[in-house]
Amino acid sequence: MLMLGLGILMFIEFYVDVPDSFLDVTKSLQNFVMIISAFAMALGGITLLGHHGKSVMDKKPGQWFYSLWLLVVMFGFILVGVSAGTSGTQYTWLFNQFFRPIDMTIYSLIGWLVVYAIYFTFRARNPETTFLIIIALFTLAGNAPIGSAIWPPIAGIKSWLGTVPNTAALRGFTMASMLGSIVISLRTLAGMERAALGG
């Protein structure tokens, strides 16, 4: 009932010309959500603390050292962030040395793996995958500056591929998936889907 009531309020605010006092109420409610979301950010940290704390306490072989290091890093960030502020050079240094390079590199690993995956899986096994591969090859050639340098019309072809076939198919996909998503959302707001409430 709470979800449905709040949902109806937000819909009225968007679609109906409402007085300023109504807008003040909805503004405050939206700000409440920002504060609640901030609390929700702590949930992951507490879960990690529980899981890895247990690993350290139980001295789980092959894991406890890594769990201890994880907790040291986590509390280090919290300590420096709270005491010196996140805009300070100390926190920025920690972020740039202990989070950023790892996050970026793990993500860049996908680049290496994708190249191998493309080589191994892009095999023209049937007419549809052949069509997919041809489109991909034209896109690759159009994206690389050297492609336009060798054959100038490729840029126009790639642009056409983006604005006509890709647009058409994605629009169809987006509309269909949005219809499904809206139905699920309305069911959740009406209380028919309980999973979102955490059990």
Restricted to residues 27-66, the positions that interact with other proteins (CB under 8 A) are 27-46, 48, 50, 66
Q: Which of 23, 57, 59, 151 binds other proteins (CB under 8 A)?
A: 23
- Which residues within the stretch 137-176 sit at the binding site for other proteins (CB under 8 A)? 137-149, 152, 155, 159, 161-176
Q: Is 192 in the site for other proteins (CB under 8 A)?
A: no
Torsion 83-86-87-89 (CA) sign: positive
Residues sharing a CB contact under 8 Å with residue 151, sequence separation 6 or more, in sequence order: 141
Total residues binding other proteins (CB under 8 A): 140
Q: How far apart are CA 137 and CA 130, in angstroms?
A: 11
Contact pattern for other proteins over residues 65 through 104, marking x by CB under 8 A = -xx-xxxxxxxxxx--xx-xxxx-xxxxxxxxxxxxxxxx
Q: Which of 19, 119, 153, 192 binds other proteins (CB under 8 A)?
A: 119
Largest CA distance in the chain: 65
Rg (CA), the chain: 26
Q: Is 112 in the site for other proteins (CB under 8 A)?
A: yes
* Cα–Cα separations (whole angstroms), residue 55 to 2, 42, 78, 111: 39, 20, 21, 33
CB of 14 to other proteins, least distance (A): 5
Q: Is 20 in the site for other proteins (CB under 8 A)?
A: no
